[in-house]
A and B are shown apart, each in its own frame.
Chain A
């Protein structure tokens, strides 16, 4: 259990060295700013799609650092050193998931406030969007780590990882956007269920994939 916190702390430190909170915030806001340019400055329309846009940018922000989640540790022998110390691959995956989530989700929640203003979302809609992001982003982090583990050592890993994550993330996206929009409490509960299942199962998939990278 101790190892889990060490690994999570190491991931957070690595994400932090990559520029701290700013890269995910800047990325999220940039996507949010791009959408009004594409759809035009129609207030009611923007307010309606705001939640959906937030979820698409959250998904993309979770995918951004995917190539540095597992592959560097495989290449430089860190995963071997964990194995020699008897740290199970599932604990490594869970620690990396926690660290990855801490690396992008808090920044995202911060950035969601100005983004909500850009989309002219009202107070309750903004609040439910933040709540939905808080509940749903662990699933995105877990999927990112699993995809990173599955593609570690492959050429073009980031693109393949994206192809793996996107279809599985669809339920999170649907319920997340609905919870932020018109769906209300029911969508939020379904989002929590989907997020819980994905977050709980993914470390096992990622752990098996990490074992598979050893040769």
Chain B
């Protein structure tokens, strides 16, 4: 169903360590859309993603998120000692999705070869792809991605772009914080640096 709203911020403000990062922020992401957050370091991109995920209460304003979301943070959140496939399956079971979804997600990020490898032996780019595969496998319609492209080579970036395009085509939405071009077509851009500049 296109046009359905998956997340909305109403006049949201964010305080971190007594410092106001942004205020009066309104945004909305609907099914099929992608919103890219940019801005200099420390402007509050990660905090905005954490607020969207419900991990951080906004200092003011309201966040509406009618459905579950999948989060890719800076941390991998996969058991280091477990084989990659088993570590991904733990979250899939918790999400109540079938195991084939994990296979498909690993395929989408070219991780099938690495399925039996313990997570701690993965390189940083492979770990990033594993985190992205966890997001794909979750089946959530809203993806909250914090710097999804960090550490990825060109081939992996193309896989990421393809996965996000497929997700949007299937009625999903992406909210991503990034410094690089993620290859998102017809995405909207929100520059937090400019926003806080307007407010001050």
Binding site for B on A (CB under 8 A): 2-3, 6, 10, 14, 17, 75-78, 80-81, 83-87, 214-215
User: Do B74 and A83 touch (CB < 8 A)?
Assistant: no
- A105 CB to closest chain B CB (Å) equals 23
- Residues from chain A with a CB closer than 8 A to the CB of B71 are 80-81, 84
A76: contacting residue among B56, B76, B90, CB under 8 A: B76
Q: Which residue of B lies closest to A87 (CB)?
A: B94
Could you give, for residues 69-100 of chain B, a 1 whenever the CB lies within 8 Å of some chain A CB and a 0 otherwise?
11101111111110000000011011110000
- A18 CB to closest chain B CB (Å) equals 9
Task: Tell me the dominant secondary structure on chain B's binding face.
Answer: loop
User: Do B79 and A84 touch (CB < 8 A)?
Assistant: no
- Residues from chain B with a CB closer than 8 A to the CB of A85 are 68, 94-95
Interface centre among A14, A75, A78, A87 (most CB of B within 10 A): A78
How far, in whole Å, are A6 and B90 apart by their CA atoms in the complex? 8
How far, in whole Å, are A78 and B79 apart by their CA atoms in the complex? 9
A77: contacting residue among B68, B73, B93, B95, CB under 8 A: B73
Q: With A6-B90, A6-B93 in contact, do A84 and B69 touch (Cβ < 8 Å)?
A: yes
The verdict on B175 contacting chain A, using a C-beta distance below 8 Å, is: no
- A43 CB to closest chain B CB (Å) equals 45
User: Do B55 and A84 touch (CB < 8 A)?
Assistant: yes
Binding site for A on B (CB under 8 A): 53-56, 68-71, 73-81, 90-91, 93-96
How far, in whole Å, are A10 and B96 apart by their CA atoms in the complex? 16
- Residues from chain B with a CB closer than 8 A to the CB of A77 are 73-77
User: Do B79 and A14 touch (CB < 8 A)?
Assistant: yes
How far, in whole Å, are A75 and B68 apart by their CA atoms in the complex? 23
How far, in whole Å, are A168 and B96 apart by their CA atoms in the complex? 38
B53: contacting residue among A3, A14, A17, A80, CB under 8 A: A80
Task: Tell me the dominant secondary structure on chain A's binding face.
Answer: helix
- Residues from chain B with a CB closer than 8 A to the CB of A83 are 53-55
- Residues from chain A with a CB closer than 8 A to the CB of B94 are 2-3, 6, 85, 87
Q: With A14-B79, A75-B75 in contact, do A80 and B95 touch (Cβ < 8 Å)?
A: no
Known pairs A77-B74, A77-B77 / 9 extra A-B pairs, C-beta < 8 Å? A6-B93, A10-B79, A14-B81, A17-B81, A80-B53, A80-B77, A83-B55, A85-B95, A87-B94
User: Do A76 and B75 touch (CB < 8 A)?
Assistant: yes
User: Do B76 and A214 touch (CB < 8 A)?
Assistant: no
User: Do A78 and B77 touch (CB < 8 A)?
Assistant: yes
User: Do B53 and A214 touch (CB < 8 A)?
Assistant: no
Q: Which residue of A lies closest to B94 (CB)?
A: A6
How far, in whole Å, are A165 and B95 apart by their CA atoms in the complex? 34
User: Do B77 and A214 touch (CB < 8 A)?
Assistant: no
- Residues from chain A with a CB closer than 8 A to the CB of B78 are 76
How far, in whole Å, are A17 and B51 apart by their CA atoms in the complex? 35
B77: contacting residue among A3, A14, A76, CB under 8 A: A76
How far, in whole Å, are A2 and B96 apart by their CA atoms in the complex? 9
Q: Which residue of A lies closest to B144 (CB)?
A: A84
- A135 CB to closest chain B CB (Å) equals 31
User: Do A81 and B91 touch (CB < 8 A)?
Assistant: yes
How far, in whole Å, are A215 and B80 apart by their CA atoms in the complex? 23
- Residues from chain A with a CB closer than 8 A to the CB of B90 are 6, 10
Q: List 25 A-B contacts (CB under 8 A).
A: A2-B94, A2-B96, A3-B94, A6-B90, A6-B93, A10-B79, A10-B90, A14-B81, A76-B77, A76-B80, A77-B73, A77-B74, A77-B76, A80-B53, A80-B55, A80-B75, A83-B53, A83-B55, A84-B54, A84-B55, A84-B68, A84-B70, A85-B68, A85-B95, A87-B94
How far, in whole Å, are A214 and B68 apart by their CA atoms in the complex? 19
Q: With A3-B94, A77-B76 in contact, do A84 and B56 touch (Cβ < 8 Å)?
A: no
- Residues from chain A with a CB closer than 8 A to the CB of B73 are 77, 80
